Amino acid sequence: MKAKIHSLESFGTVDGPGLRYVVFMQGCPMRCMFCHNPDTWDFGAKAKYEMTPDELFNEVKRYKNFIKSGGVTLTGGEPLGQADFVIEFFKICKQNGIHTALDTSGIYFHDKAKQALEYTDLVLLDIKTIDDELHTKYTGQKRDNNKQFLNYLQDIGKPTWIRHVVVPTYTDDDEKLKAVANYIKQYSVVGCVELLPYHTMGKYKYEEMGLKYPLEGLNDLPKDRIENARRIFAEILQGVKIQ
C-alpha cells in the first residue's frame, strides 16, 4: 500500500513533544475557514511523494538519532483519511521504539481509526469550536465525530493534547473561550492545550489555487488576545499545560 504525502519535515518542533519527523499527508474532508494549507485538501491531487510504510520508515530512520527525544508526527491534511497506512506505519515505528503522534481533526471515527490509536502514543486533537452550528459553517462538517473521538480517547486513557485556533470575531470571545476550556476540563487524558493565534500566512495559497479566501479582510489575532486566551485557559485548566 502507498500513501499520498504532501510534504516532509525533518526537524519539526511544533507538532508534539521534542524534535520530530513530521509527515504532512494529502487529503482532508474538512474545509476550515481559517485553514492555511488548502493545498492538502484534495485526496485526488498528485502528491509530491507516494510511499509505502516501509519506504517512509526508511526515510525516518535516517534521523533516528536526532528525534530520539521526540518522535514522528503524522499530520495533514487529515492522516486518518489514509488510515490503513497510518496503522502499518505506526506499527513499524513502535516496533523500532519511536514515539508516535497523530495530529487529527477527529473527523473520522470508525474501526480503522480506533485501530490506528492502538499504535499511537499521543493524539493532537483539533477542537475548532464547541458550537455545533458554528462548527458546520466553520468547517463544512458536523461536530459529532469530533465529540465521539474525544470521548473514546478518554475511555481508552490515550494521552491527548488539544489544539484550538483562536480566530477574531469567531472564537476570540471570553465567554466562548471559557466554554471551550470548561468542556476540555471534563477529560482527564488532556495533558496540554495549544492555543494557536489565527494568521493569514496561508492566504497566498488560495490566490495561487484560484480559490476565494474565506476570511478576507480579517487581520491576524493580536498578541494581547492570545495572551488573554491563555490566561483564561490556565485559570480553568489548572494542572494542564497551556501553550
Q: What digits encode the pLDDT tens for the residues 52-88?
A: 999 999 999 999 999 989 999 999 999 999 999 999 9
Work out the percent of the chain whose per-residue pLDDT is above 70.
100
Q: What is the pTM of this model?
A: 0.95
List, as one string, the DSSP characters of 216-232: TTPPPPPHHHHHHHHHH
Task: Identify the CA nearest to 219 among candidates 148, 170, 159, 149.
Answer: 170
Provide the residue type at 110 as one letter. H
Q: What is the pLDDT of residue 60?
A: 97
Mean pLDDT of 189-203: 95
pLDDT of residue 122 exceeding 90, the answer is yes
**What is the CATH superfamily name and number for domain 3-242?**
Aldolase class I (3.20.20.70)
SS3 state at 90: helix
| Residue owning grid cell 485501530 | 115
228's grid cell: 488573554
Backbone φ and ψ for 42, nearest 5 degrees, come out as -75, 115
Bond preceding residue 77 cis, omega within 30 of 0: yes
Where exactly are the structural domains of the chain?
Answer: 3-242
pLDDT in tens, 1-54: 899 999 999 989 999 999 999 999 999 999 999 999 999 999 998 899 999 999
